[in-house]
Amino acid sequence: MALLALLTTAACGDDGDAGPDGGIGPDSGVDLSEPLFDPAHVLEVEIDLAADDWDTLRFQNRSVGALFGNCLQGPFEDPFTYFPGTVTIDGEIVADIGVRKKGFLGSLDNDKPSLKLSFNEYVSGQRFAGLKKLTLNNSKQDPSFVRQCLTYQTFTAAGIPASRCNFAHVTVNGVDLGLYVHVESGSKDFLERHYDDPEGNLYEGTLSDFRAGWTATFELKTNEAAGDRSAIRSASCATSIACSSPADATGS
């Protein structure tokens, strides 16, 4: 049976490579990333990139008109692009990383954008503490900064696979952007931590549901090239009164 895992968010993977961790990482059974998600530790994250790139990055935004034009016919277009930079995490420098803005609508901000750092965007196989990416959320919709971590911790305590989560203090080009929520990215590494067979599909849902007409926006986060959405169709049909064809499940 195909593995179906979901990352469902209110806002809008691949195989592990040997990297600068000297062969220690997901394939070795040694999880170097665990200290990065210690809830009692606040990461110090210093990002440096060209000033012009930073200005371009932070002003990239989604078009509300484009969202309404999508009509839930597929995953929403990602308007954000990576820019080269360097990051220092708790005093350790990683050069030649990719930095981009992230978010759907409510969390977008030009002064304190949510950020995605990709360690292997420009250097194949590069990782930091076994991780390919860092996800830094600005928590614009939650002034308390704790709701996301508390939710994931509740899922974990209930035995439901969920992202690890803590906090980070972030500066960009020496400018203090303040506190961020540091969340484990959805990837094959996430599946390897929770499932005996990590080869299945991981989806992220944005304005998604299993009712007819709402399933097409589930975005594949692993095995993207294969594009297999049969598990989503099966789950949709299981919750529908009538579902006689794949079209019934996708709303196409």
Q: How many domains does the chain have?
A: 1
What's the pLDDT score for residue 64? 65
Identify whether 88 is part of a domain.
yes
Identify whether 9 is part of a domain.
no
Per-residue pLDDT tens listing for the chain (252 residues): 334 444 443 333 333 333 344 334 445 567 899 999 999 999 999 999 999 999 999 999 876 665 566 666 666 677 899 999 999 999 999 999 999 999 766 678 999 999 999 999 999 999 999 999 999 999 999 999 999 999 999 999 999 999 999 999 999 999 999 999 999 988 888 888 888 888 888 887 777 778 777 777 788 878 878 878 888 878 777 665 545 544 444 443
Question: CB neighbours of 80 closer than 8 A, spacing ≥ 6?
Answer: 57, 60, 100, 101, 102, 116
Q: Which structural domain, as residue segments, surrounds residue 120?
A: 16-196
Cα-based angle 117, 122, 128 (whole degrees, multiple of 5): 50
What's the pLDDT score for residue 182? 98
What's the pLDDT score for residue 26? 45
Identify whether 224 is part of a domain.
no
Q: Give the predicted TM-score (pTM) of the model.
A: 0.77
